Chains A and B, each alone.
Chain A
Amino acid sequence: MERPDWKERWAGLFFVAPFLLLFALFMLWPIVSGLWNSFFNTSLAGVKHEFLGLQNWQDLFGDPAVWSSLKNTLVFTAMSTPPLVIVALAMALLANRKGLLGWLLRFSYFAPFVLPATVVTLIWVWIYQPGFGLVNGLLTAGGFAEIDWLNTENRAMLAVVITTVWWTVGFNFLLYLAALQGIPAQIYEAAAIDGAGGRQQLFRITLPLLRRTTGLIVVLQLVASLKIFDQIYLMTDGGPNYATRPIIQYIYETGFTSYRIGYASAISYLFFAIIVIVALAQFKLFSGREETA
């Protein structure tokens, strides 16, 4: 006996409802309200709210701070992404071994990733100190001149990149390691029987089969690097002389120091568009011509 029970038809929706509610409240609403605010001079200071049309958007294109901070974000991304992918791959190849050594290697490479940004930056600000810092201590011991890493314009970004690679490479390493362990041992056996040496197995089997993982890691890393804020804010506060200030810090300062929420929303949307373009371009580049693993 079939009964068209509306409860049955809609029961599934009740399971999804809590998620939908939170998603709408904390994702959709801020996205819509951000776009809406970008057309107003919305302020946190509680002054009246006027419609500006495209004024914020016009201001944005003429604001040198937008472009210089955007440039810093892009420079950071360009500097940090290659080592974060290549070092992670090298680590995974090196640590993919059995026994105590394998365990110790995996522990060492992954350990920094579990630390919070505040602890990481505390350790590294200390390491970069002039005089008694570890890096400068080693430089002077080796007869080199000391560098005031975090207060020199063209060194500060490099210092942040080094810290970031040390801190976050463990995650990419883990993805690569999982992919490596997913390659069936029979393929290597067959290759060995056919006379392929270690080097040939690496270049003809391992690396080609990691292509898909590399694509994923590059996309995730580009997006993560573009969102740079924590380390720079904590280590240099965007300095010296704004040389490391990333776009997100400028958005933050505009919104929460200058209280210009409308303008900050417009810059956020510009940045959002850039991230979407980068992510789409990457997915297009890496999908399609794939060998399946």
Chain B
Amino acid sequence: MTTTTMPTARRSAEPTTGPAGGGPSKPRWTFAGTASAVGAVILAVVWLVPLLWALDTSLKPEPETTRTPITWFPQAPTTDAYRSVIDQGDLIRWFLNSTIVSILVTVLTLFVSVLAAYGLSRTTFPGGACCTG
């Protein structure tokens, strides 16, 4: 994925000035820059809240999960929920099922599509031109 590295203002003789809207920016204090950073963080928090709420709920004892008014911090944090999943559920089997499906799908898809891509792009055969535009 290309998303883990950000483009730097590479090969530029001079340092760039001013943050561009969405473009690479040099840290320089501006009102717009700060406002967009604050907005970005607020949006990120909104996006994380459901995940945190689920995590939070998972650490509450059963009666506390349905208590009103709602509370963010479990009064009596517990790992009971995790314990019962591990004890009662057949976790290993479930993970095994997912793993088997993932591996088989990946291997078969790769095998079939690599062969087809090679056949279509590196060899010619009657009718083969149909799919390579």
A interface with B by C-beta (< 8 Å): 9-16, 18-20, 22, 90-98, 101-106, 108-112, 123-124, 126-127, 131-134, 137-138, 140-141, 166, 174, 177-178, 180-181, 183, 185-186, 188-189, 191-192, 197-199, 201-203, 205-206
Contact = CB atoms under 8 A, between A and B. Distances in A.
Max count, chain B CB within 10 A of own CB: residue among A16, A98, A101: A16
Interface of B: 2-4, 6-10, 12, 14, 16-25, 30, 32-33, 36-37, 39-41, 43-45, 47-51, 53-54, 57, 65-70, 111-113, 115-116, 118-120, 122-128
A279 to B, nearest CB: 19
A19 B69 CA distance: 57
Contact of A181 (B7, B19, B66, B120): B7
B70 A18 contact: no
A111 B47 contact: yes
Contacts of B123: 11-12, 15
Nearest to B131: A16
B117 to A, nearest CB: 9
Contacts, number: 176
Contacts of A15: 115-116, 118-120, 123
B111 A18 contact: yes
A188 B3 contact: no
Contact of A12 (B32, B41, B44, B120): B120
Contacts of A186: 12
Contacts of A18: 111-112, 115-116
A94 B6 contact: no
Contact of A203 (B19, B21, B116, B118): B21
A122 to B, nearest CB: 8
Contact of A137 (B16, B24, B68, B125): B68
A112 B53 CA distance: 13
A12 B128 contact: yes
Among all A-B residue pairs, the 4 with the closest Cβ atoms: A202-B21, A15-B119, A12-B123, A137-B70
